[in-house]
Amino acid sequence: PHTPKVLRRLGIPTGVFLESALPIRNPYVNLRNHRKILVVDGRLGFTGGLNLRAGCLLARNPRHPVQDLHFKVEGPVVRGLMETFGLDWAFTTGERLGCDAWYPVLEPVGDSIARCVPDGPDEDFDVLRRLILGALAHARQRVRIVTPYFLPDQTLITALNVIAMSGVEVQILVPQRNNLRFVQWAAEAQAEQILEGRSRIFVTPPPFDHSKLLLVDDVWCFFGSANWDPRSLRLNFELNIECYDSALAQRLNALVDAKLANAIEIRAADMRARQLPIRLRDGFARLLTPYL
């Protein structure tokens, strides 16, 4: 909460998105800006799941360690990051950013075909969810999902079940121990429904994995700030990048393979074997899914 004050004291222009007048704000009910955008000179961009927080500095052995996945991008796709930041900045501060210093001419870099996909409870509402559904509908061999919070709505669950039953291999990687207990309980309540649809769920050991990644058929990559939950896909302002690049997909699949090497697969029988009090607890948490 004191971060904006520190930045302003240092003379750094700072805006607080939808700043609350209340001293305490409910972290589960908000229209937060969840985007992760860093643009340098309008030419070099960074985005993904990484937050600027002490827990991500694993070399310092933080009390609550977090591992993550972040991307450096160059070329015309950086304009999408800058335009999204510019809109957020203008909305928050009233200042419109212009001129070549912010928006230089960008030449193509590399062979990837990529674009930014902003999403939020405004004119970009439901863009990411519909894009995910479209990608799943075109999957033919394999779908891999890495996410810290996996609470897909019924439409997404049905889409995963349909493609899994058609023969597409669906692998879902989530943390073994979530940093939000209610989210973990709600996710366990609906895991049985997903597993019975022939999708496979794996839990990865600590440190907590905050990575957000979707890979389809070893060619389509989707990464950014969005989680697989209603809060992220309906209530938050997010930004992802979709990318067609088989070489990048190969590198990211190798990363997923490394995560799977230490992961434990969860079976439907494991979910059915939970004791009644735990099933009731998880079921109650699932009722709160739209706000988790």
Helix axes of 276-287 and 181-195: crossing angle, nearest 10 degrees: 100
With 80 as the cut, is the pLDDT of residue 4 above it? yes
Give the pLDDT confidence score for residue 22 in this predicted structure.
65
Catalytic residues: 34, 36, 41, 210, 212, 217
**Domains, the chain:** 3-291 (3.30.870.10)
Listed as own residue / partner, the contacts of 289-292 with beta carbons closer than 8 Å and 24 or more positions apart are: 289/151, 289/186, 289/229, 289/230, 290/230, 290/231, 290/234, 291/28, 291/29, 291/230, 291/231, 292/28, 292/149, 292/151, 292/180, 292/182, 292/183, 292/186, 292/229, 292/230, 292/231
- Asked if pLDDT for residue 25 goes beyond 80, the answer is no
Task: Pull the structure tokens for residue 230.
Answer: 């209603």
pLDDT tens per residue across span 256-267: 999 999 999 999
* CA pair distance 54, 17, nearest whole angstrom: 22
pLDDT of residue 81: 98
Mean pLDDT of the residues in the chain: 91
pLDDT tens digits, one per residue of 36-51: 999 999 999 999 999 9
When pLDDT is cut at 50, 70 and 90, the band that residue 220 belongs to is: very high
pLDDT mean over 110-132:
94
pLDDT of residue 23: 60
Q: What is the DSSP string of 10-56?
A: TT-----TT--SSSS--TTS---B----EEETTTEEEEES--SSGGG
Structure confidence at residue 243 as a pLDDT band (50, 70, 90): very high
Average pLDDT (159-187) is: 91
Does residue 129 surpass a pLDDT of 70?
yes
Model confidence at 180, pLDDT cuts 50, 70, 90, reads confident
